[in-house]
Amino acid sequence: MNILIFEQYSYSYAPDLQAALKDINLEIKKDECTVILGPSGAGKTTFCLAAAGLLTSYPASVSSGTVKKPVPTIRTALVMQNFYSQITYLRNTVFEEVAFPLENMGLPRPEIFKRVNDVLSQMKIQHLAMRNPLELSGGEKQKIVIATALAQKPDVLILDEPLSQLDPESTSYLSDILHQLKGSITIIIAENDPYLILKIADKIAALSNGEIVSYGDVSTVFNSVGGKLVELPAWSICAREYETAEDGLSSSSPGYILGYKAALKKLGGQK
Amino acid sequence: MRVAFDSVTFSYGEYPALKTVSFEIESGTTTLIVGRNGSGKSTILKLMNGILKPTAGRVVLGETDTRTKKVSELSRSYALCFQNPDDQLFADTVSRELTFGIDNIGTGRNLLDLVIDTLELRPILSSNPYSLSYAMRRLVAIGSVAAMDTPVLALDEPTAGLSFREKEKVALLLQKLKSRKKTLVIVSHDLNFALPICQKILLLSKGSILFFGNRGEFFSKEDIRQVMRASGMTFPIYPRMARALGLTQPAFTCNELLIGLKAATTIKLDSN
């Protein structure tokens, strides 16, 4: 079943600006994890905002086509690239900040308490519960915003570069959380981190200049345009995959292929 | 210009961010500050130019105690690129953004062209920064601070949100500034980006220093794996491979690893 359908969707932030998205045709299936890949300015953030239904509010924008929700009641939660602007700062504690959207959803108080405690524990940030969000570091704020989105238990979770300020340990926690959620909710994630992509992606949509230039499973996209589009540090992919592989590295895995090619190229350059 | 922390303590309200921290960054060196989220990294950068004043102890920038001068006076010596570029940008064109700091502190436009060309900002000079992608806004923020030509430059998570290609531009800019004997201080979780640039590492945990010294010394430690794990970091690929292969020198780039390998053995290539 499709949960979001982009039909010939184009979007410009203003009439005199280049289109941020051009003729996007994409069906996102329920409980599938789609990674949006591409260089800066390719349209990843605009895609996330369109998927969250937030773009219609820009007054000077120009759009055509539609983003359909076959089931209108589906709930989406978005973690924005500039997550700093997403914290309300209306509340004095992290606990209340995470509870804020749940109160607005009209959930009973015991359910709110349970969800907030669960998500703070899941993100390993219980120690921040009574801190004022204003006093936190950038990475801690990013974790609060991610926790706030997870607490809503959305049907569609949209994450725009959610790892940008996280330390490696927190990156690993979030990867595990998303891996556990995979298959039970729909995830759309704009991210160039190869480790996360390999771990959670069912499908990759590769964007370039606002257009989808490749769509498919991980191997298909990586082998066609992945490296060219984002200049992935292929050697690192290979190494990270090797590190996490339980039974050794499969010679058909994308990390292996890219890593092998990159290693050969580098070695060739040293001759 | 050197930067010295002398028994510095700082608290946000009742929460201590730094606990009696002492270290000295020598003039012309590049230092990488690492540690978990919330370990006090950004606080150190904000103490260096007096945006924050120590709760106890003193911070000395050059020969100046930061408690005795205004931020505007200290900014002639020290420029800081914030973690969030949107906290920094305000001008209506990239060009005005890049020259605002220079014109206000009066250091001259000596570095402006170098910054614009290295970060490849020339095609967007007349654009409004807020019409750009987040990554481009970060490059503009880095450029506007680097162009100020201050003796000390600090960057807080400069690669967050950048693609691999953009990280290369920032790395190149920092290498050029290094060759001009700038004192650079970088906070980053991105060790693959930062290690090739930095000579010194300052490792923080819960507001205290776990290590401060040369990067080679850090990665030669017997218990490096445990230290990194305890600090929430992953062991980056090149030093880890160099260690696993038994190379005598730590490697921080692919080329250094290959040079080490070539010195240790003869590599036969499969040209296919």
For residue A17, the distance in angstroms to the closest alpha carbon of chain B comes to 9
Chosen from A124, A270, A271 to mutate, greatest number of chain B CBs within 10 A: A270
Q: Would you mind telling me the total number of residues written for chain B in this entry?
A: 272
Ordered structural domains, chain A, with CATH: 2-75+154-269 (3.40.50.300)
- What is d(CA A47, CA A138) in angstroms, rounded to the nearest whole number? 24
Q: Are the Cβ atoms of A40 and B134 closer than 8 angstroms?
A: yes
B222-272, pLDDT tens digit by residue?
A: 888 788 888 888 778 788 878 877 888 888 887 788 788 777 765 444 443
Strand order in the sheet with A211-216: A76-79, A156-160, A186-190, A33-37, A203-208, A211-216
All residues of chain A having their beta carbon less than 8 Å from the beta carbon of residue B269 are: 264, 267-268, 271
- Is B234 within 8 Å of chain A by CB? yes
For residue B133, the distance in angstroms to the closest alpha carbon of chain A comes to 5
Q: Are the Cβ atoms of A165 and B267 closer than 8 angstroms?
A: no
Q: Give the residue from A28, A65, A10, A67 showing the smallest Cα distance to A209.
A: A10
Do the Cβ atoms of A93 and A174 come closer than 8 Å?
no
The residue type of B147 is A
Q: Which residues, listed in sequence order, are joined to residue B156 by a DSSP beta bridge?
A: B187
Give the pLDDT confidence score for residue A236 in this predicted structure.
Answer: 47
Q: Is A92 helix (H, G, I), strand (E, B) or coil?
A: coil
What's this model's pTM, rounded to 2 decimal places? 0.84
Place A246 in a pLDDT band, splitting at 50, 70 and 90. very low
Half-sphere exposure of A229 (CA within 13 A, CB side): 30
Which residue of A165, A240, A271 is in closest CB contact with B160?
Answer: A165
The residue type of B204 is L
Q: Does residue A227 or residue A163 have the better pLDDT?
A: A163
B160-177, pLDDT tens digit by residue?
A: 888 878 888 999 999 999
For residue A124, the distance in angstroms to the closest alpha carbon of chain B comes to 12
Place B116 in a pLDDT band, splitting at 50, 70 and 90. very high
For residue B86, the distance in angstroms to the closest alpha carbon of chain A comes to 8
- Is B130 within 8 Å of chain A by CB? no
* Residue B166: partners with Cβ closer than 8 Å, 6 or more residues away: A40, B135, B139, B159
B55-99, pLDDT tens digit by residue?
A: 999 999 999 999 999 998 999 999 999 989 998 999 999 999 999
All residues of chain A having their beta carbon less than 8 Å from the beta carbon of residue B156 are: 138
All residues of chain A having their beta carbon less than 8 Å from the beta carbon of residue B136 are: 40-41
